[in-house]
């Protein structure tokens, strides 16, 4: 009887214990499969950031759970954003124990303290990053020198050559340049001097032009650096200088020793004469040439072989034919001669810059502006029969100078002459010569940087005349069909459109 009672008591004790153990095991499984992510560090303080600029700090989003953490959406407080290396990172799965490197960014649009919480939502769970920054207005000069280097080529001893420079003040306060010296000697004069008076005050947004004079007193290369000192808080400016002094006996000198064409409108050409003179004895001019493959700088009538007596000269034109994208170009013109030292070569630096044509001289030009900083709105021009995002069918930031019309002929190609990725524009596409057909104008809001809606304004010029101005509010990833240019080969019309569609090519949350 006692054994029966013991069995009954045992059964009553064991059953609840087994049930409790089962529940405990199930709880362990649930607690083990946790979804959790954390930011490292958990907070970011950007400190003081000058209004009109941005600051970024690196953070890591770490999966501290036991299953992959998949990013689904991000909540951003005003003036703050969160970026991965390649832009969007939603739908990114972070493996257990791994981290995703991100940049927290603050855009200082106005003065004052900004705080908030960036929240990354996963399929389950979320991670929070506390952020703080303070926008401040600083009144400081920002002095820059253009160009940052000069090459005077070869100048005979006792002669001189001059080249221009410009000092710009891109800041919001006056900047004062106090003096200029050569890094090698701490003074000016041999072999480089500055034609201009210092100290000089340059107002905010202003410029000041100078000339640098090269006057060698001895033979050989003369590399140096001119240092322009400025009052605090502006720092010193540095100008790299190169030139060479040459003996005058039985030699050849060319003037100018360096040719600077400056800006030349695309499709136009500019010419300067180069005069080469024998000095100190007879010199034989053999010829002059640019490197093989050089097409923008040319010699329309290259000089032939000529024996020159002292003081006798040969003059020939050097031409810059501006084609292609609006960028600076440079080359070296080699002048070969035979003099007292045997076969020699004079090197003449040549520079020029392609500039966009005015809208009044093109078949069609499109100009885009918008009303927000730190955002990227893009302009697209689609050729007849072409398509958006096609390397031969459109002109855009992806294909800035596609080969349309006659193959390898740049005169009938469109050019995206300006691509602004940081707000307001302008961006413009110019097409000098256009084949007949319908050309589609599109605007794409590529990246709002978390700032929301922008208002885009488009000016369309046809055959040098303004065909219309059109504007529209756009959200990130909106693709606006502005309209169609109907071109007959010499004139055209514009048919506006209000079509707006969504496009996933942008970097938008």
Q: How confident is the model at residue 219 (pLDDT cuts 50, 70, 90)?
A: confident
Give the pLDDT confidence of 240-291 residue by residue, as tens digits: 999 998 766 678 999 999 999 999 999 899 999 999 999 888 899 999 999 9
Compute the average pLDDT of residues 289-305: 95
> Do 90 and 146 belong to one domain?
no
- Residues 501 and 441 sit within 8 Å (Cβ to Cβ): no
> Do 382 and 492 belong to one domain?
yes
Q: Which of 37-46, 249-258, 468-477 is the least confident region? A: 249-258
Say if residue 46's pLDDT is above 80.
Answer: yes
Given this model, what pLDDT does residue 138 score?
82
CATH of the domain at 279: 2.60.40.10
CA 473 to chain centroid, in Å, comes to 26
Say if residue 460's pLDDT is above 90.
Answer: yes
Asked if residue 73 belongs to a domain, the reply is yes
Give the pLDDT confidence of 253-266 residue by residue, as tens digits: 999 999 999 999 99
- Residues 275 and 303 sit within 8 Å (Cβ to Cβ): no
Asked if residue 386 belongs to a domain, the reply is yes
Compute the average pLDDT of residues 474-496: 96
Q: What is the pTM of this model?
A: 0.57
Given this model, what pLDDT does residue 364 score?
95
Last residue of a domain, one of 326, 355, 384: 355
> Do 254 and 291 belong to one domain?
yes
Q: How confident is the model at residue 29 (pLDDT cuts 50, 70, 90)?
A: very low
> Do 263 and 303 belong to one domain?
yes
Burial 479-493 (b: 16+ CB within 10 A, else e): bbbbbbbbbeeeebe
> Do 416 and 372 belong to one domain?
yes
Give the pLDDT confidence of 142-194 residue by residue, as tens digits: 999 999 999 999 887 778 899 999 999 988 899 999 999 999 888 887 799 99
Given this model, what pLDDT does residue 249 score?
63
> Do 457 and 322 belong to one domain?
no
> Do 242 and 145 belong to one domain?
yes
Range of the domain at 474: 359-502
> Do 205 and 322 belong to one domain?
no
> Do 368 and 408 belong to one domain?
yes
Residue 187: is it exposed, middle or buried by C-beta count within 10 angstroms (0-12/13-18/19+)? exposed
Domain count of the fold of the chain: 4
Asked if residue 508 belongs to a domain, the reply is no
Asked if residue 62 belongs to a domain, the reply is yes
Asked if residue 143 belongs to a domain, the reply is yes
Last residue of a domain, one of 89, 119, 136: 136
Asked if residue 377 belongs to a domain, the reply is yes
- Residues 341 and 280 sit within 8 Å (Cβ to Cβ): no
Asked if residue 409 belongs to a domain, the reply is yes
- Residues 361 and 464 sit within 8 Å (Cβ to Cβ): yes
CA 293 to chain centroid, in Å, comes to 27
Which pairing describes strands 149-156 and 237-246: parallel, antiparallel, or unpaired? Answer: parallel
Last residue of a domain, one of 246, 264, 290: 246
Compute the average pLDDT of residues 203-210: 92
> Do 390 and 448 belong to one domain?
yes
Asked if residue 79 belongs to a domain, the reply is yes
Euclidean distance between CA atoms 466 and 464, whole angstroms: 7
> Do 99 and 213 belong to one domain?
no
> Do 367 and 309 belong to one domain?
no
């Amino acid at each position: 009887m006692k054994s029966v009672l013991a069995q009954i008591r045992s059964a009553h004790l064991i059953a609840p214990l087994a049930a409790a153990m089962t529940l405990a095991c199930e709880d362990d499984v649930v607690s083990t499969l946790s979804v959790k992510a954390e930011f490292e560090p958990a907070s970011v303080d950007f400190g003081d950031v000058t209004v009109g600029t941005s600051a970024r700090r690196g953070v890591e989003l770490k999966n501290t759970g036991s299953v992959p953490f998949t990013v689904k959406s991000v909540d951003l407080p005003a003036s703050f954003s969160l970026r991965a290396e390649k832009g969007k990172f939603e739908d990114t799965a972070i493996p257990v124990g791994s981290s995703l490197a991100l940049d927290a960014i603050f855009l200082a649009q106005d003065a004052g303290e900004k705080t908030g919480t960036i929240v990354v939502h996963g399929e389950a769970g979320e991670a929070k990053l506390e952020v703080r920054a303070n926008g401040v207005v600083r009144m400081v000069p920002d002095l820059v020198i253009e160009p940052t280097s000069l090459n005077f080529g070869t100048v005979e001893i006792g002669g001189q050559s001059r080249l221009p420079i410009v000092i710009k003040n891109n800041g919001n306060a006056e900047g004062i340049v106090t003096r200029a010296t050569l890094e090698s000697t701490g003074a000016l004069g041999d072999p480089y001097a500055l034609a201009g008076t210092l100290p000089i005050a340059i107002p905010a947004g202003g410029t000041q032009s100078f000339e640098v004079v090269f006057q060698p007193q001895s033979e050989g290369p003369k590399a140096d650096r001119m240092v322009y000192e400025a009052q605090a808080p502006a720092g010193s400016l540095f100008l790299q200088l190169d030139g060479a002094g040459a003996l005058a006996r039985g030699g050849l000198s060319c003037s100018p020793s360096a040719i600077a064409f400056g800006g030349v409108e695309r499709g136009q050409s500019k010419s300067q004469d180069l005069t080469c003179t024998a000095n100190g004895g007879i010199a034989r001019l053999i010829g002059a040439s640019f490197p093989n493959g050089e097409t923008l700088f040319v010699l329309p009538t290259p000089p032939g072989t000529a024996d020159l007596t002292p003081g006798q000269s040969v003059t020939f034109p050097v031409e810059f034919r501006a084609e292609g994208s609006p960028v600076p170009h440079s080359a070296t013109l080699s002048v070969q001669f035979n003099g007292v030292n045997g076969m020699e070569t004079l090197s003449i630096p040549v520079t020029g810059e392609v500039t966009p044509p005015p809208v009044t001289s093109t078949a069609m030009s499109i100009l885009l502006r918008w009303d927000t900083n730190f955002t990227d709105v893009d302009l697209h021009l689609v050729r007849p029969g072409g398509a958006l995002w096609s390397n031969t069918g459109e002109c855009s930031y992806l294909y800035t100078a596609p080969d349309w019309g006659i193959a390898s002929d740049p005169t009938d190609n469109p050019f995206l002459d300006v691509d602004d990725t940081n707000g307001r524009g302008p961006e413009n596409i110019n097409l000098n010569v256009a084949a007949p057909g319908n050309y589609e104008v599109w605007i794409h809001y590529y990246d709002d940087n978390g700032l929301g809606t922008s208002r885009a304004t488009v000016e369309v010029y046809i055959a040098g005349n303004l065909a219309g101005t059109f504007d529209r509010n756009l959200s990130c990833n909106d693709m606006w069909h502005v309209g169609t240019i109907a071109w007959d080969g010499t004139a055209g019309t514009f048919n506006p459109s209000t079509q707006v569609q969504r496009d996933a090519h942008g970097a938008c949350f």
